[in-house]
């Protein structure tokens, strides 16, 4: 399942979900709009949106290949309202269900042929260690849906956060590990966990990763906002050991600088100074979390090329 970066420096940069200037858009709808329609009409609209999103994904992947961007993170609402308790559906419920699946599988074939990595990062409502059973059930349903699409498009990462601490981090992480057993193999084989900027540091998550075999997506921006006893280089090396395929990390820069009032907020672009030197010689995917989207990825590529010579 491991894939090789295409860059001469072994770093694969990733574009996250959307475009700033390129005319490629993914469509969504609201529960209110969907609920106002009768079911056949609602399914007809959802079918159209899913098909349009599959076509948009094909265009997004082609853009990445053309511009030597090695990874594309797919929007978690690529199938709008898929797991909503009232508006949800199965793909075979959609008028164009078979064609939609075929289009997504063509995306997967294209990604394989061009050594393009794809990933998912479910929305914040996916919380595996929530004390509320309904939240856990909905989280599992969402992960299963995204893993289903991941099979079609050849995605090897579905990345989530550790969730809440709920008064006791260790107990909360034990609940996370317990609920992992409720996931299918197709989810487990792709699932990763990421350190965040409010609750779980790399040091908190590494024991969970080692115990469960779930890789750590190391977010260096989050680590700088919520540090622990590990240096960036130590956290990098520890995170690398959790992967059984090409590791995937995150990079961001603070909107108002590291001395600004809210360093958690993302800048439009990435400062080359924020890319750890210890990442340079790794075979590594770096997803670029920046508001300027494809422009930020391309600018960072140029900056890395200058730095690495």
The string of pLDDT tens digits covering residues 180-229 is 999 999 999 999 999 999 999 999 999 999 999 999 999 999 999 999 99
Give residue limits of the domains in the chain. 12-308
Quick check: 23 pLDDT over 50? yes
Quick check: 294 pLDDT over 60? yes
Mean pLDDT of the chain: 95
Q: Indicate whether this model's pTM tops 0.85.
A: yes
Pick the CATH number of 12-308 from 3.60.15.10, 3.20.20.150, 1.20.1640.10, 3.10.20.10: 3.20.20.150
Can you give the pLDDT at residue 5?
A: 55
pLDDT band, residue 8 (cuts 50/70/90): very low
DSSP state for residue 88 in the 8-state scheme: -
Closest alpha carbon to 3 in 105, 113, 91, 82 = 113
DSSP state for residue 73 in the 8-state scheme: E
């Amino acid at each position: 399942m491991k894939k090789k970066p295409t860059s001469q420096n072994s770093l694969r940069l990733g574009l996250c979900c959307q475009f700033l200037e390129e005319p490629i858009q993914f469509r969504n709808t609201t529960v209110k709009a969907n609920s106002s329609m009768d079911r056949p009409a609602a399914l007809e609209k959802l079918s159209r949106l899913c098909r349009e999103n599959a076509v948009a994904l094909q265009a997004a992947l082609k853009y990445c290949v053309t511009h030597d961007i090695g990874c594309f993170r797919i929007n978690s609402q690529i199938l709008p309202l898929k797991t909503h308790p009232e508006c949800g559906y199965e793909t075979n419920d959609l008028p164009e269900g078979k064609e939609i699946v075929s289009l997504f599988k063509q995306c997967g074939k294209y990604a394989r042929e061009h050594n393009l990595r794809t990933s998912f990062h479910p929305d914040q409502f996916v919380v595996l260690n929530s004390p509320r059973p309904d939240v856990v059930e909905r989280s599992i349903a969402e992960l299963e849906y995204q893993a289903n699409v991941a099979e079609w498009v050849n995605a090897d990462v579905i990345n989530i956060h550790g969730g809440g601490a709920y008064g006791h981090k260790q107990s909360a992480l034990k609940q996370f590990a317990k609920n992992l057993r409720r996931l299918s193999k197709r989810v487990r084989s792709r699932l990763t966990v990421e350190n965040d900027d409010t609750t779980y540091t790399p040091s908190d998550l590494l024991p969970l990763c080692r115990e469960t075999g779930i890789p750590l997506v190391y977010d260096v921006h989050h680590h700088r906002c919520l540090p622990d006893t590990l240096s960036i280089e130590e956290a990098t090396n520890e995170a690398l050991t959790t992967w059984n395929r090409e590791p995937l990390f995150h990079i961001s820069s603070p909107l108002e600088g590291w001395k600004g009032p809210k360093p958690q907020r993302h800048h439009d672009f990435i400062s080359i100074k924020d890319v750890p030197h210890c990442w340079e010689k790794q075979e590594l995917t770096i997803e670029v979390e920046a508001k300027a989207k494809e422009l930020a990825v391309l600018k960072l590529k140029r900056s890395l090329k200058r730095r690495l010579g």
